[in-house]
Amino acid sequence: MSPSAQHHCPACHTPCPWTPERAGRRVRCSCGQAFVMPTGQDGPVVAAPAPPQDAEPPTPDAYELDLPDDMAHHATTDDAPSAAREATPQASATPGKCPSCNGRLRAGAVICLNCGFNLAEGGKIKTRIDTEPPPSSAAAQTADPAAPGAPPAPHASGTANIHDERHKRSLARAQGEKKDAQAIQDHFRFQEHTLPLILIAAGVVVALFNALVLAQPSENAGITRGTGTPLGQAAITYITNAAALLVVQIPCLLAGLFFCAAVMGSAFGTLGSALKKLLALALLGGSLYLSISMGVNIVMYGVGGPGTLFTASIALAMFWSIIVLLFDDLVKAEVIILYLAMCVLPFFILGAIKFFVLR
């Protein structure tokens, strides 16, 4: 569209593009001013006179159009080629996964909270804040009416205030949307990066507590005082066994994630983020499980079955709490699969290694 095809409302100077459909028709701006569009692109805009205050409301003209507030936006989008709109990428049909970042989606979600991908439109949403005020207030009033190409003088003095208020509301709404998007991004970074590191550090602290405080009493449970395992030897034994268990648990948990993704269509984010979460789960969950097991052995030595059942129940409750904290919206089947991969499968593997290799 040529620059001469761009006209302005006689009252508020809002850009009004000329189109063949609007040629010669009476249009009404969002500020209430009615005017007639020229029949050609270079013709003048003719303002319709305002009716007297005591006159009855006029009957709407059959050829009258109500222009929206964002006429400048329609001037660019209405003339966009249809081929460009058809080339917009479509969202993936895989349920529960974001086609952009492979993140996990809640049931019925339309927008991915991780990357902002819109599944309905097939693209990422963006927020734009216009900090410049509209050119209809002071600049329009101080412009020389005799200058070539200058817009007509304002029809009413309150029109500029109306546009200023609209601009302020739009700016406040855009800033609120930006704050919401930033809050979502901060929560995602905490969930994917900061929280796993915090839980990993907590697992290291619990493991050191087990090695230096609980390992020796647990080894010496039921043995006469003074003839048991020394503290250093008990700590080394605990650290060696815990490290061997951790080395086996991580591949088992990773295999459990791949099984859930392949069979159940689950999504767990990027591989690096998933590995950090699995390390936090294995280190903290495994250390807490060993803490409970050694504590029960110290306090309830010789009880047998009831002590084992109590240990397994508390360990399952803690495992469930940690895995739900790390992964959002896990179903029960996924939790059970990951529990078996962490607390059952590694012990079978270590037992098989001891029986067939180390015997």
Which DSSP string do the residues of 244-295 spell out, in sequence order? Answer: HHHHHHHHHHHHHHHHHHHHS------HHHHHHHHHHHHHHHHHHHHHHHHH
pLDDT confidence of residue 72: 39
Cross-strand bridge partners of residue 123: 118
The answer to whether 16 and 1 have CB atoms below 8 angstroms apart is: no
The answer to whether 327 and 247 have CB atoms below 8 angstroms apart is: no
* Phi and psi, residue 7, nearest 5°: -110, 175
The whole-angstrom separation of Cα 248 and Cα 343 is 11
Closest C-alpha to 288, from 256, 327, 321, 257: 321
- What's the Rg (C-alpha) of the chain? 35
Helix, strand or coil for residue 47?
A: strand
Question: Angle CA(295)–CA(301)–CA(306) in degrees, nearest 5?
Answer: 85
Mean pLDDT by 10 residues, the chain (359 residues): 62 78 78 79 70 50 44 41 40 60 69 74 60 47 49 53 80 86 86 92 95 91 72 92 91 91 81 90 91 88 80 86 85 88 88 80
- Length of the chain, in residues: 359
Say which residue the tokens 């058809």 belong to. 86
The whole-angstrom separation of Cα 180 and Cα 183 is 5
Closest C-alpha to 338, from 324, 352, 351: 324
Report domain extents, the chain.
1-87, 185-356
Task: Quote the tokens at residue 134.
Answer: 């509209």
Helix, strand or coil for residue 334?
A: helix
DSSP 68: P
Residue 167 makes CB contacts below 8 A (sequence gap 6+) with: 130, 133, 134
Cross-strand bridge partners of residue 47: 35
pLDDT confidence of residue 163: 73
Task: Quote the tokens at residue 146.
Answer: 């005799």
CB atoms within 10 A of CB 297: 19
pLDDT confidence of residue 93: 43
Residue 62 identity:
A
pLDDT confidence of residue 283: 93
Q: pTM for this structure?
A: 0.56
pLDDT confidence of residue 287: 92
Question: Angle CA(311)–CA(205)–CA(312) in degrees, nearest 5?
Answer: 10
**Distant-in-sequence contacts of 28-33, Cβ < 8 A, 24+ apart:** 28/64, 28/65, 28/66, 28/67, 29/67, 30/66, 30/67, 30/68, 30/69, 30/71, 31/159, 31/162, 33/9, 33/155
Closest C-alpha to 136, from 38, 20, 11: 11
pLDDT confidence of residue 248: 92
The whole-angstrom separation of Cα 203 and Cα 208 is 9
The whole-angstrom separation of Cα 323 and Cα 286 is 12
Q: How far apart are the first and last CA of the chain?
A: 85
The answer to whether 333 and 264 have CB atoms below 8 angstroms apart is: yes
Helix, strand or coil for residue 46?
A: strand
Cross-strand bridge partners of residue 28: 34, 66
Helix, strand or coil for residue 342?
A: helix
